[in-house]
Structure 1
Amino acid sequence: MTIVVLDRVSGPLPPYSEWLRDGARDVVLFTARPAAEITAHDVGAYAEVRCFSDYARSADVDRAVFDLAARTALSAVVAVSPADAIRAGALREHLGLAGQRREAAITFSDLVAMRGRLERAGIATVPCAAVERVADVYAHAGRWGYPVHVRRRRNGWAPVSVLRDEAAAREFTRGGLSPDLQWVPGLVMEPWPAGAVRRVAGVTAEGTWRLYGVAEEDGPPYPKTPYMEAPYPRTPYPREGTEDWEEDVLAAAGAVLAALPAADAHPYLVELRRGDDGRWLADTVGCDVTGPAAGALARTLGADVHRDAVRAQAALPPTPHTALPTILPTALPAAVPATTGEAVR
């Protein structure tokens, strides 16, 4: 059996073949990295390595996976970058492989889709609405009042602007939302959050959610993965008072995760905000183990979350978690063109 890895991650090349060596006879790497970078690494453990110059936008990567599946039996498609999640989900569906499907990937990528799913499940969320035209900015601001928060709709939901009054809205929309009328920016608006924030790390084990409060106080330096020559902590990060974390926060986070199509053994970071009525509102649920959230997840779970996510997508057991045992049991809801891309080996 063969595992194919889609690699869009920046920084040093992760040791995918080492992480997956107990899960398949062969590991194949399809990457956005240039061939010059790949040849600087020892890639002898991979059965095949291909570099794609237009990795993000081209269908060549997908065709290469289909061609590989026609030549050998695939057991998994691994892709931990959020920008690759939808592509990987569609590939798994087409090939009949286990793992996250396309719709589930959209849920975790698209903030409007995520909060919409939670609301349909009866979970209170921070209200939001898509911004597709200038009129939407004024309509949403009129609905909630200023200030309002504009952020990216997909893949990390980065902040774009805070509009504190109508003058700020006029300045923000001057000239339109994009220079090209044929291009619609992926934006979302929400009321400016004023309540307290809590973050909870969650991971499943045998169908049960294990939830841990994330310390917001200063901690050790951002954990670096083993391939960056600095090991993750193998003992719990000392978090004063976290054994008695607010029960309502853990309950809210558990309800959020149980309502989403989460993957077993994959780490997630739930962010909650206190609403005006005192309830905890679901803000975001992140599963990016390569971005800023990775540090908080690694400290809290006491594990190499990047490695764990890669192994989870290949249906392999994670490394042991050593975080403090603040646990809330929650049951889980239950013919192709020829290969393209530059072959490195």
Structure 2
Amino acid sequence: MSGNKRALTYGNVLLFVLVLNFFLPRLLPGGPIDYILGGENGAVLMSEAQKTALLGYYQLDKPMGQQFLHYVKGLVTLDFGPSITYKSPALEVIKGRLPWTLLIVGSSAVLSILIGLGAGLMSAWRHAGRADRALLLSMVGLSAIPEFLIGMLLLIGFSVQWSWFPLGGASTPFLPSHLWWDRVGDVLRHATLPILTLTAAQVASLYLFMRNEAVRVLQEPFVEFAWAKGLNRRTILLRHAARNALLPIVTMITLRIGGLMAGSVLAETVFSYPGIGRLLQEAILSRDYPLLHALFLVMTVFVLLLNMMADAIYPRLDPRVGRGNGDGPAMLRRAEGVEGRGGLL
């Protein structure tokens, strides 16, 4: 796909998601005022004049068309208005939560990639052996455990039973020490269990994908040719098998990282971690439209940037991708037919 076509595709996807972003929260039953009043029973007493004033303040009393135009203006100016729950600008609320999510999502992404791809490559190298069978059974068993259950088990074991890690939060309030390494250590202690939970939830699928791709590549004729040339095991495994197997996995990795952002909702809820995953849950429950609009925008841009990064990485893994007319996917499909005759030798 050429650069112009790719940019047009990303633009269309972004436009579609932004329009959907406006209507989806409004399709949920109830609304922000119902949440403020305490649900259908109206636990919080409020006069009709107060309700009208509240609707007018958040511009929820206007027709849907005018609300949509106000939403589009907010997209252009990056001003979605004040959060109904936090009474602060929506983007400011997100800025306070985003670093915590990036910490656990980024760390778990790196760990799951290193462990999953490394274990998958080793398992493929020892295909049908004891190590391969043990790793395969372990990863299949791990993939069957839901993410929230992994988090609960870690919380009960390492926080409740042994008190090695805190029960929740991102840092200790009023930490007595003012030394920076004590503060960093405190943040890492709070982030350890959420990171392990997200890593365990992702590592099995990456392992299985890498193992299957590496087994396929190691059976190709060009690997036998590499053995015949007298190349050592390390060169064959890393330069030829791993590099050829990584090409179809790049897209999966970027999608998994994007999924971690949304998947952090469960981990952050279990550990009471103040990231945007938990913030998204709170915004959905409170029908906080400004906050939902800002959150969905941040997540959409994050996923699109990851896909753009995957498009940039593809040609570096295989120079044949993106040559000629720039049609990367078409070149990739044609490359699959010649891979067995020489690969990336």
Q: Greater strand percent: which structure?
A: 1
Q: Greater helix percent: which structure?
A: 2
Structure with higher RCO (Cα < 8 A, 6+ apart): 2
What TM-score does the superposition give when structure 1 sets the normalisation length?
0.21
Larger Rg: 2
